[in-house]
Amino acid sequence: MQAALNFLPLAVFMLAYHFHGIYVATAMLMAAMVLLAGIDYLRLRRVSPMHALSTVLVLVFGGATLAFHDPRFLKIKPTLLLWLMAAAFLASQWIGKTPLVQRLLEPALTPGTALPRERWLRVNLVWVVAYVLLGALNLYVVRHASEQAWVYFKGFGLTIALMMLAMGQALWLHRRPVAGSGGSGGSGS
């Protein structure tokens, strides 16, 4: 249910854009993000740091888009979020017990699977690079494509790319044997 709720603001944005344009879609996105944060708080008694950051960025950049009647503010929000995520993933290699990618993907692995820290750090760097590249790609689309192309890129392209990255990394990790186990799950690193 939580995964479906997380896609609600994006769906609201896409539908509002289709029927009413970028400014109504921006206002609806802002409202949907606040609503989702409220639902999360009521259900879980907390709002995840990622969702809180995304909500704040949507409110700031969406507010600027509406105040200045300039969609470029909203269009750079994904890049800023992706680059902040890249910085957080990179910093997690030295801050905390486990890198962020391990906290994200470890629950998807077979129970009892323990991977060496070095492997998690390598995968974490893949995410850093992916976030940096996707942020740069967003800027490229903002500068060189139509508004409608950017909306579809934001709604489908970035979402699909991040889902494929997560699934691909989880499958890759699942197929790799644990160091020293001689497992049959793959051919090593």
Q: pLDDT digit string (tens) for 25-69?
A: 999 999 999 999 999 999 989 988 888 999 999 999 999 999 999
Mean pLDDT of 117-144: 95
Mean pLDDT of 161-181: 75
Co-location of 163 and 86 in the same domain = yes
Co-location of 96 and 7 in the same domain = no
Mean pLDDT of 135-139: 98
Decide if 189 is inside a domain.
no
Mean pLDDT of the chain: 88
- CA 7, chain centre distance (Å): 11
pLDDT at residue 188 tops 60: no
> What pLDDT score does 181 carry?
44
Decide if 188 is inside a domain.
no
> What pLDDT score does 103 carry?
85
Co-location of 79 and 127 in the same domain = yes
Categorize the per-residue pLDDT at 182 as very low, low, confident or very high, splitting at 50, 70 and 90. Answer: very low
Greater confidence (158 vs 183) lies with 158
pLDDT at residue 189 tops 90: no
Co-location of 52 and 98 in the same domain = no
State how many domains the chain has: 2
Does residue 54 contact residue 40 with C-beta atoms inside 8 Å?
A: no
pLDDT at residue 19 tops 50: yes
Decide if 132 is inside a domain.
yes
Task: Please give the residue range of the domain that contains residue 148.
Answer: 72-178
Mean pLDDT of 149-159: 95
138/166 Cα distance (integer angstroms)? 19
> What pLDDT score does 41 carry?
93
pLDDT at residue 114 tops 60: yes
Q: Please enumerate in sequence order all residues whose Cβ is within 8 A of that of 178, keeping only pairs 6 or more positions apart, or say none.
A: 113, 114, 115, 116
Co-location of 102 and 125 in the same domain = yes
> What pLDDT score does 183 carry?
42
> What pLDDT score does 178 carry?
57
> What pLDDT score does 177 carry?
57
